[in-house]
Amino acid sequence: MVQSNELKSQVKAKYNELAREKQSCCATADCSFVGDAYDEVGGYVKDADLGLGCGLPTEFAGIKAGDTVVDLGSGAGNDAFIARKETGETGRVIGIDMAEDMLRRANENVSKLGFNNVEFRLGDIEDIPLADATADVVVSNCVMNLVPDKTKAYSETFRILKPGGHFSISDIVIIGSLPTSLKDAAELYVGCVSGAVDKTEYLNVIKQAGFTNLQIQKERRIDLSDEILDQYLNPTQKKQFLDSEVGIYSVTISAQKPDKACCGSSCCS
C-alpha cells in the first residue's frame, strides 16, 4: 500500500505534469468513460477542462446568487467557473489545489476571463487554508478519492462550511471487493479512479464528520475498458469481475452542516 506522503507526492507530480502538458488523465489510457459532458453547462470554459472529473457536482449544488462557493481540488478552474455562473457577480468562488502548475493554469484562465470574484489558492484539502465558516457551498470533483486521509478532509470541509451550509461532491467509490491488482496498481493511484474506497466506508466518513441530510444524488457504474482490464487481470479474473456486481462507481453526494440554531431539536437528528 502506498504511504500517505508518498501518495500525495505522486498525485501532485502527476497533476502538475497534466497541467504543464495541457492533457487530461485520459492522455495515456482510455478513461473517457469516467466523466460527464460539460459542453452545454452554463459557465463552461473549455480551456479549464482537463477531463479530470467524474461527475457534475454543480448540478446538485443548489448554488444561489451571492453564495460563497469553495471548490476543493479546483485544477484549472473548470467547476469553479461553472459555480461562478451560478453565484453571479455578487458571490465569490475560491478554488483550492495543491499542484502549483494547476494553480498557474487556473490563474491564467481567470485573468483571461476578467473575473474579479474568483480566486485560486495553493493548499492541501487535509488542511484547507480558509477560516471557519467561510463557505455557503463546497463542491469537489473526483478529488477526495486522491486524498489519503478522507476523515480529515471531510472534517475540514465541515469546518469551512457555514452552519446550514452544504456540499455537493462527485467522487469514485468501490462496491464489493475489487481485485487487488486493480486497486493497488500504481498508475491507478494517480489516475482517474485512484485511491477509491468502499462506498459504505466512504459514507460513514461523511456521517462521522457531523454532516446530516446525506443523499446520493447520482450513481453509475464505470465500465472499465478491455484495455485496462486486460492489463491488470488474467482472463479468468476478468470474467469473474465482469460477471459480478463488484465495481467502481461514480457518485455525486450531498450533505449539510447542521444549523446551530436548531441543535437539540429533531432537525439535527
Read off the pLDDT of each residue in 209-216 and give the average, rounded to a whole number.
98
* Angle of CA points 129, 195, 197, to nearest 5°: 105
CB 78 within 8 A of CB 104: no
pLDDT band for position 30 (cuts 50, 70, 90): very low
Q: Which is higher by pLDDT, 49 or 246?
A: 246
**Measured between alpha carbons, how far is 130 from 134 in angstroms, rounded to an integer?**
7
Choose the weakest-confidence range: 29-33, 48-52, 69-73, 176-180: 29-33
What is the per-residue pLDDT for 23?
Answer: 52
Helix/strand/coil for 60: helix
The DSSP bridge pattern shows strands 118-122 and 212-222 to be unpaired
Share the mean pLDDT of the chain. 86
pLDDT band for position 34 (cuts 50, 70, 90): low
What is the per-residue pLDDT for 25?
Answer: 47
Contacts with 58 (C-beta within 8 Å, 6 or more apart), sequence order: 41, 79, 82, 83, 86, 139, 168
**φ and ψ of 224, to 5 deg:** -70, 140
| Cell representation of residue 209 | 464528520
What is the per-residue pLDDT for 119?
Answer: 98
CB count within 10 Å of CB 102 equals 26
Stated length of the chain: 269
What is the per-residue pLDDT for 3?
Answer: 61
From the centroid of its chain, how far is CA 63?
17
**Measured between alpha carbons, how far is 60 from 56 in angstroms, rounded to an integer?**
8
In the chain, where the domains are located? 4-268
**Measured between alpha carbons, how far is 235 from 242 in angstroms, rounded to an integer?**
11
Choose the weakest-confidence range: 50-59, 70-79, 128-137, 255-264: 255-264
CB 126 within 8 A of CB 149: yes
What is the per-residue pLDDT for 185?
Answer: 61
The tens digit of pLDDT for each residue in 51-78 reads: 788 899 999 999 999 999 999 999 999 9
CA Rg value for the chain: 18
Per the listing, cell 461514480 goes with: 250
CB 25 within 8 A of CB 52: yes
What is the per-residue pLDDT for 254?
Answer: 98
Read off the pLDDT of each residue in 196-209 and give the average, rounded to a whole number.
96
Helix H or strand E encompassing 194: none
- Percent of the chain topping pLDDT 70: 84
CB 168 within 8 A of CB 206: no
CB 142 within 8 A of CB 192: yes
pTM of the model: 0.86
Helix/strand/coil for 145: helix
So what CATH class is 4-268?
Answer: alpha beta
Helix H or strand E encompassing 142: none
